Structure 1
Amino acid sequence: MPTFDFQTVPSIQMEWSGAAHLGERLAARFPARRLLLVTDAGLVKAGLIEPILANLQSSGFTVTIFDAVVADPPESVLHACVQTARQQDTDIVLGFGGGSSLDVAKLAAVLLGSTGQSLGDMYGIGKVQGDRLPLALVPTTSGTGSEVTNISIITTGETTKMGVVSPQLYADYVLLDAELTVGLPQVHTAATGIDAMVHAIEAYTSRHKKNPLSDALAREALRLLTTNLVPACQDGANRSAREGMLLGAMLAGQAFSNSPVAAVHALAYPLGGHYHVPHGLSNALMLGPVLRFNAKAAAPLYAELAEVIAVPARSADRAHDFVEAMQALMDESGAPRRLRDVGVGENMLALLASDAMKQTRLLVNNPVEVTEADALQLYREAF
């Protein structure tokens, strides 16, 4: 049995329509009452925030809403969020939304609770000092698993991203309310669901920190996600499918937070940086090529996952069957399948490959070493 260390959030509650009672849930857990609600303008416009706000206020919270979060949030958005919170003397942070909102909320809670450490000094692994404000997270997509990870990704330049990885980013309380995901469009359901499957697969095949507990979570996550992805895409109001997707995404988040992701993510980040392709979709676009590339080392693990998700035995090569099954599932989900379909130019592939090599934090976890020439070939295959 390998020696390993496993960490996750201390309290997770799953409840359909649970967000309608979020104020009572938080009031019972935290004495703080000056709350910063971090979200995006789309959720405000969609009417999801208004009832949450009313319930929080009726439960005794003074609420400041920061709704300027955007996809691939830049440092400026995070700094604006922290400034808004300081003006209101915030003493508790609530992240409500997709992965970007949750990532901003996590770092805002850390910056607000720190003793002057700058954001720049936090980038990397284990560099956060001090504590943070109380933190609660409520996801509205079934993809990133950010609600249960100790990772936040921020856009640091025109096309570059960096991560903060530290135990302080684990929330105190997570609410999983799958009803909040019912309005997610089909293409976003597909992309975020495939993102979660990538988390499970990469956690299971990670070169470093792979352990029995993350393996168990990754297997169950992949089972739930592969079972429920297409039903959720075909009928967005399917309660069982939505709950299965949200639970699967959370379990995958717990897995990869402890057994980190690798080349799929490393190659996905430049697509977000240069073309603003949503993170889940960029992972979906790169998954097939990277699975095939990694099979030379990960075939035994792919074969195990084939059994987990009950892939029919179409050949003597169970790893091949698994890769083909994942490819078919992505095709059936309706997500875009080629880089050219999302506006990527062939003349940019070399630059993307060069940028991907900067993701050393991720590439070191890949079961097969990835050179810049390999990265270029993978982009060409995805194109």
Structure 2
Amino acid sequence: MQPFQFHTTRSIVFREGAAADLAGLAGRILGPRVLVVTDPGIRMLGLADRAIASLTASGAACTVFDAVEADPSLATLMRAVEAGREARVTGVLGFGGGSPMDVAKLVALLLGSGEALEEAWGVGNAKGPRLPLVLVPTTAGTGSEVTPVAIITVGEEEKRGVSSPAILPDLAVLDATLTLGLPANVTAPTGIDAMVHAIEAYASASPNNNPLSRMRAREALRLLGANIKTAVFDGSDLRARGAMLLGAMLAGQAFANSPVAAVHALAYPLGGTFHIPHGLSNALVLPHVLRFNLPEAAGAYAEIAGDAFPALLRVADEVRAEAFVEALAALARDLKMPVRLRDAGVPESAIGKLAADAMKQERLLVNNPRRLTQDDALSIYRAAW
């Protein structure tokens, strides 16, 4: 067995209604002055109100920064840092989907360490220390609450990442009641996003691909595959919502240590250029990247096919991987998601630029089970268009 490292969030609470008891769970961690990082939608829906009220009732002063947008910009990050600096906060609470949680991670890092962001970009460059950090996800998708990764949009289109155990939070609070109001057109792509995390982690060519990640990836696919349709079409089903939240977290732990690859590399330019939500970007290219990978990854895909789709266990071993790819494509259609780039507003004329931009994601492409060139990226985008 090859050597590996496995990093994850120090403590995880999975409990319905846990957010309302945030002071009891996290008050000592966050301290007397808390920066709450969230987005306008979460604020408008009041999802964070009980958590903030719990902290306030315990005597903590809460400063709320609720201006995080999808694919958060560098300017937004720095405004959040300034808000935390002015309030002299002792801890950071990230509340929402992947975007608020990613911003919260970097705010905690920059306020706690004082290090320059330019020196933190990339893998293993952020050293810390950071401020105390607690994350509360409101979508079942990114798994950001257990990953050492934060993605920020720099300039008009470029996405940059910080990947370091230094930004793993002290506590993740998983409260399925927070996801009950999530509409179908958000539940579906975020759920597919979590499935992509598990698939890419399991088949990753990373030298740190390890038994702990693979185990979590398979359990994630079992939970996600069995519950995604119920969560999308019966959003009030708390059992399905909880299973999706747990599955997304397990997939996050998996890819945090056995990193994702070409699906994400080709998805990022779609988000950066056309502002397509991350989960949908992944779903649009997923079957096409997996078909490209089949010559090298068929064995891995065949192993996990039955986890996501138990009916595939009855399919012959030699064709199970191909059936897995087709089942994923069919799932997106069944969930009423756009399945072609053109359906998501991407013009055919953009394919060349998308391929060139995808090749900039070297930190992801090195993990792909099959080497991918710019010409390959072009072919994949054309197939997806």
Partner of 1:267: 266
Deviations 1:172-219 (A, max 9, x none): 001000110111110110000000000000000000121111000000
Which has the larger displacement, 315-324 or 298-307?
315-324
Greater mean deviation of Cα atoms: 44-53 or 260-269: 44-53
Q: Distance in 1 between matches of 2:214 and 2:315?
A: 25
Which of the numbers 320, 337, 351 marks the counterpart of 1:318?
Answer: 320
The residue that corresponds to 2:78 in the other structure is 79
Show the 5 A alignment for 1:4-153: 4-27=4-27, 29-30=28-29, 32-114=31-113, 116-153=114-151
Aligned residue for 1:227, secondary structure, equals helix
Aligned-pair distance for 1:324?
A: 1.6
Q: Summarize deviations over 1:128-178 as a string: whole Å, max 9, x none.
A: 133000000000000000000000000012111010001111000010001
Q: Quote the Cα distance in structure 2 between the aligned partners of 1:237 and 1:214.
A: 30
| Distance in structure 2 (CA, Å) of the matches to 1:291 and 1:31 | 42
Give the Cα separation in 2 of the matches to 1:31 and 1:149: 19
How far is the alpha carbon of 1:222 from its aligned partner? Answer: 0.7
Unaligned runs of 5+ in 2: none
Q: Deviations over 1:13-51 (max 9, x none)?
A: 001111111122112x42611000000011111122223
Once the two structures are TM-superposed, the CA of residue 307 in structure 1 deviates from its matched residue by: 3.0
Identify the residue that residue 201 of structure 2 maps to in structure 1. Answer: 203
Q: Deviations over 1:313-362 (max 9, x none)?
A: 34541111211222222221222111111110000000000000000000
Runs of 4+ in 1 over 6 A off after TM superposition: none
2-side partners of 1:90 and 1:72: how far apart?
25
Per-residue CA deviations over 1:236-285 (Å, capped at 9, x if unaligned) read 01111100100000000000000000000000000011100011110011
Amino acid in the other structure paired with 1:186 = A
State the secondary structure of the residue aligned to 1:143: coil
Once structures 1 and 2 are overlaid, which stretch shifts more, 323-332 or 75-84?
323-332
TM-score by length of 2: 0.97
Q: Give the aligned partner of residue 168 of structure 2.
A: 170
**Residue type of the alignment partner of 1:341:** D
Percent of matched pairs sharing the same residue:
55
Matched, 1:289 2:288: yes
Secondary structure of the 2:311 match is coil
For residues 31 and 223 of structure 1, the distance between their equivalents in structure 2, rounded to whole angstroms, comes to: 34
CA contact (8 A) 1:204 1:259 kept: yes
Q: Kindly indicate whether the alpha-carbon contact (under 8 Å) linking 2:38 and 2:95 is maintained by their aligned counterparts in 1.
A: yes
Structure 1 residue runs without a partner (length 5+): none
Equivalent-residue separation in structure 1 for 2:35 and 2:186 (angstroms): 27
Structure 2 counterpart of 1:340:
342
Q: Residue 330 of structure 2 aligns to which amino acid in structure 1?
A: A
1: CA distance, partners of 2:250 / 2:30: 29
- Three-state SS of the structure 2 residue aligned to 1:89 is coil
- RMSD over aligned CA atoms reads 1.0
Counterpart check, 1:212 vs 2:214: no
Question: Quick check: 1:232 aligned with 2:231?
Answer: yes
Give the Å deviation of 1:92: 0.3
Distance 1:5 1:50 in 2: 38
| Deviation sequence 1:76-128 (CA, Å, 0-9, x none) | 000000000110100100000000000000000000001x3211111001111
